[in-house]
Amino acid sequence: MIERNLNANAVAYDVVTTGTGRLDPGSPLHVYWIMWAERCQTRDLSPLERSWAYGYDVRSCAADACAVSLRALRDRQIVVEMRDGSPRAVTSISNGPAILRRVYVTVAGGGVFPSVKSVDLFGESCTDAAPVSERIARQ
């Protein structure tokens, strides 16, 4: 989930599986808005939001894991995988493998293309389940 400082709304990333419980290699994620400020309604991303800020690219995909990159974090690979029948997203947080739980983006200004000041990643270490976080400052 990506949250922002601009409002209470968030972008959710749900894993899409086939009828056999494996990741859908053609479209492993369903991305949409949760409009917390509007009675928790959901809505699809606009084409502009999907292509510029909140969409994703599939780098590679197999039956049980897909390597993706979020448009908001283009330089950070995320491996979406099925583990014991449940999905999880694994990436590097603070120089170690971690299960990604939340992304928080701090932006300045509004309009169509606000300026990103920082991106905060929150998760759990894959080695000992300890909470981890990392701030990525943007210029």
The DSSP line for 64-90 is SEEEEEEGGGTTS-EEEEEETTEEEEE
Please write the tens of the pLDDT for every residue from 38-95: 777 999 999 988 887 788 999 999 878 999 999 888 899 999 998 888 899 999 999 9
Integer Cα distance of 12 and 42 in angstroms: 9
Q: Compute CA 79 distance to the chain's CA centroid, rounded to the nearest angstrom.
A: 11
Q: What is the pLDDT of residue 110?
A: 63
Q: What is the pLDDT of residue 88?
A: 94
Question: Residue 132: pLDDT band by 50, 70, 90 thresholds?
Answer: very high
Q: 92 or 7, which is more confident?
A: 92
Q: What is the pLDDT of residue 62?
A: 81
